[in-house]
Structure 1
Amino acid sequence: MTQGNQLNLIVGLNGFSFLVVNPENKTFQAPTQVDFAVADYRKTTEEQYWEAFLKYPELTRNYEKVTIFHKNAYATFVPNELYDEGQPELYLQFATKLFETDSFDIDEIPELGVKNVFVPYVHINNFLLDQFDTFEYHHFETALCKQFQKIAAQRSDKLALAYVDKNLFSLYVFQGSNLLFNNTFEILKPADFVYYLLFTAEQLELDPEQFPLQLFGAISEDSPFFQLAYQYIRNIEVATVTTNSHSLSQLEARIFFPILNA
């Protein structure tokens, strides 16, 4: 099963998800989401990961390549010409609370001429180093941005794309291949979602009756988030993701969309 296959994991403090990718025929296996929904303060994050690794045999096999994507709000895009490699913390200190023990990493996004400065989960990386011979890691927003740009580059108008996942959603606005805006917002209810959409539209002078918005992630037309947003943004749609794999539902394809071709 694993000969030539790749393992892509999205990791966070409250759970993780993974997908087995066959890069030759562009098919996907074992789309799985692991949710640490019930807080157990007797267990460390590493212990929760270890229990999950014991449960899912796909995580203990050998792979041609393993790629980790850190998913959190501790990331920001910086134009190459403004980046000071000696002080990466400068770009995050006003956006989130930082600690002296935080480390910083950089993803290059040459398609946009920017760097994604982010705080990785070092303790999760250390756990994964004990599980895999080698792996590379990036921030989730790097993969998401690259996939969104491919969609936007096929058209010339302004296009908004959002990825919705539990209590966070990421919003991007492109015109052609040019990135005009991106941010990640915390949302607890549908009204939060609509507020940030309309606020961004106002700042960018986008007409809610006109501008197109495509939704990815854990959302469907039955979602209260979509249903409320549709009352205010008329040209909104849940994206259809085309894959060669019959093993993925459309919802799974939207959830794993950023890492399908990573």
Structure 2
Amino acid sequence: MKQLFQIENNSPGKLHQVLSLRVGEKHCSFATSDKYGSQLHKLTYCTSDNKPATGWDKNELLAFFTDYSLLPRLFDQVLICYDFPQSLFVSGAGYNQDEAGLLLTTLGNGHGNRKMNSELIPGWNVYNMYTVPVEIQELFEEAFPAAAYQHQYALGLKSLTKRYDGATLAIDFDTDHFNVIAVSGSQFLLAQTFEYVTPGDVLYYLLKTSQQFSLAQDEVRLQLSGLVEKDSALFKELEQYFIHVECREARWEQNSGYPAHFFTSLNDLARCAS
């Protein structure tokens, strides 16, 4: 396990704390905040030391929980977001829970080592059906029995509250992959995860997505969040090919010392608290 980022604020009155946790194949991060998602108390982002083919396992996640004193602490709410790419969207009218096994086979994960989950995404009339490694999901359920769960794609779609008449590509970057959510007005188009090494890889997938859905490069809006610097070669490359490029910033009240868009997804998750 390798820690890449850590933020800790000496916020007064840490009552009613909310724990927001994101876990993917190669990363795990958490934030503790107030119930409104505006006061950030602590934030940590780590990557897995395990081989890329395996990613996080139960023992490494337990070490993560222990090292950062997440257990056996009590939180008022625990919100967990899965960022695993094995996912399929179906329309609300076409959703059939009994077809979960078929989905597992379609995704190439029908060997009993993953659990099936599904969620209706309010406002978009689509279901996201996704899988999570069994040992990881069971660990979270045991460690945080009262937690609320959702997938990163659902979280990203819910964050698109400001609808444009045109198209939007919402892009969230991690160290070696990025999620793309494509919408046009109120129509959902795509949610997918791509791995990348160079800026050219990112550009290739975004141009391919734009071409697939006939999105004009001078009209589509790119909303960036996650681990991308505004002065990076990647950001500059995107500005050369797309006219409307902006960063969607987290709404923590404190200055974290990092670019405000780095941890927007964790802030989105924290703001789901009730």
Calculate the TM-score normalised by the size of structure 1.
Answer: 0.86
Cα distance, 1:13–1:125 mapped onto 2, change above 3 Å:
same
Instruction: Return 98-107 or 124-133, whichever deviates more.
Output: 124-133
User: What is the aligned partner in structure 1 of residue 45 from structure 2?
Assistant: 33
Equivalent runs, 1:48-59 vs 2, <5 Å: 48-59=60-71
User: What is the aligned partner in structure 1 of residue 271 from structure 2?
Assistant: 261
Cα distance, 1:107–1:20 mapped onto 2, change above 3 Å:
same
* Conserved? CA contact 2:166–2:185, under 8 Å: yes
Deviations 1:164-197 (A, max 9, x none): 2222222222233332333222223221110111
* Conserved? CA contact 1:10–1:17, under 8 Å: yes
Give the % identical residues. 22
* Conserved? CA contact 2:36–2:270, under 8 Å: no
Cα distance, 1:229–1:52 mapped onto 2, change above 3 Å:
same
User: What is the aligned partner in structure 1 of residue 4 from structure 2?
Assistant: none
Give 1:163 deviation, angstroms: 1.2
CA distance in 2, matches of 1:164, 1:76: 20
Indicate the SS of the match to 2:156: helix
Equivalent runs, 1:59-98 vs 2, <5 Å: 59-91=71-103, 93-94=105-106, 96-98=107-109
What is the root-mean-square deviation in Å for CA atoms of aligned residues?
2.6
Instruction: Return 12-21 or 108-117, whichever deviates more.
Output: 12-21
Cα distance, 1:46–1:26 mapped onto 2, change above 3 Å:
same
Amino acid at match of 1:192: D
* Conserved? CA contact 2:116–2:131, under 8 Å: yes
Q: Are residue 150 (structure 1) and residue 161 (structure 2) matched? A: yes
Higher relative contact order (CA 8 A, sep 6+): 2
User: What is the aligned partner in structure 2 of residue 99 from structure 1?
Assistant: 110
Q: Are residue 238 (structure 1) and residue 247 (structure 2) matched? A: yes
Amino acid at match of 2:238: A
The number of equivalent residue pairs is: 257
CA distance in 1, matches of 2:143, 2:90: 33
Unaligned runs of 5+ in 1: none
Instruction: Return 252-261 or 16-25, whichever deviates more.
Output: 252-261
CA distance in 2, matches of 1:40, 1:197: 24
Equivalent runs, 1:1-262 vs 2, <5 Å: 3-24=15-36, 26-37=38-49, 39=51, 45-91=57-103, 93-94=105-106, 96-101=107-112, 102-147=114-159, 149-151=160-162, 153=163, 155-247=164-256, 249=258, 250-254=260-264, 256-262=266-272
Cα distance, 1:40–1:176 mapped onto 2, change above 3 Å:
closer
Calculate the TM-score normalised by the size of structure 2.
Answer: 0.82
